[in-house]
Amino acid sequence: MPLFQSSSTKLTLLQKVPLFEGLSQRQLRLIAQLADEVDIPAGKRLATAGETGHEFFVIVDGHVAVKIRTGRTVRLGPGDVFGEMSLIDGGPRSATVEATTPLRLLVVGHREFWQLLAEAPPIAHTIMRTLCRRLRDAEAAPTA
Ligand code: CMP
């Protein structure tokens, strides 16, 4: 499997990602240009709490473990996103994220992330909803 797919193969893949549902063909073509499709082996660390973050990730296939500083671990899978927090506020990674299975990811760099949100507002809405849900979950979680 090549590391980066041709743009037509990538377009077919993007159409199956829930985050991109309802977007126009023009928006999907732009995302195909902005996002790299990458296959990652199980066990690889994708973000380290406290370090600077440079990428935003969309899980196409596979699962990751998000190890939050409180000691809690959250499992994310197909359709979920991570890495948005550091790109939005410029702060360090809030959690360590590791692949628990082989992964297929869409990876978006910092500059491309803002371009993506500007060009496809529904993605910005989904990310805002995700942030709100994570905040509510974090507040509802029992303290260690
Ligand atoms: P970021 O802080 O850039 O890097 C670590 C990522 O873990 C973070 O962005 C979120 O995408 C994700 N993350 C942090 N806290 C939670 C949580 N409570 N539930 C799910 N994902 C989280």
User: Does the Cβ of 85 fall within 6 Å of ligand 1?
Assistant: yes
Q: State pLDDT tens for residues 81-91.
A: 999 999 999 99
Could you identify the atom of ligand 1 that is nearest to the CA of residue 53? 3
User: Does the Cβ of 37 fall within 6 Å of ligand 1?
Assistant: no
User: Does the Cβ of 124 fall within 6 Å of ligand 1?
Assistant: no
One-letter amino acid at 2 equals P
d(CA 16, CA 12): 7
Structure tokens at 128: 């805002």
83: which residues sit within 8 A by CB, 6+ positions away?
46, 47, 53, 55, 56, 57, 93, 97
User: Does the Cβ of 93 fall within 6 Å of ligand 1?
Assistant: yes
Q: State pLDDT tens for residues 91-119.
A: 999 999 999 999 999 999 999 999 999 99
Structure tokens at 84: 């948005």
Structure tokens at 76: 């994310």
Q: What are phi and psi of 79, to 5 degrees?
A: 95, -20
In the prediction, which pLDDT does 10 show? 84
User: Does the Cβ of 28 fall within 6 Å of ligand 1?
Assistant: no
What's the predicted TM-score (pTM) here?
Answer: 0.91
Task: Please tell me the distance between residue 8's alpha carbon and the centre of ligand 1 in angstroms.
Answer: 31
Could you identify the atom of ligand 1 that is nearest to the CA of residue 135? 18
With a cut of 60, say whether residue 4 has pLDDT above it: no
Nearest-CA residue for atom 8 of ligand 1: 83
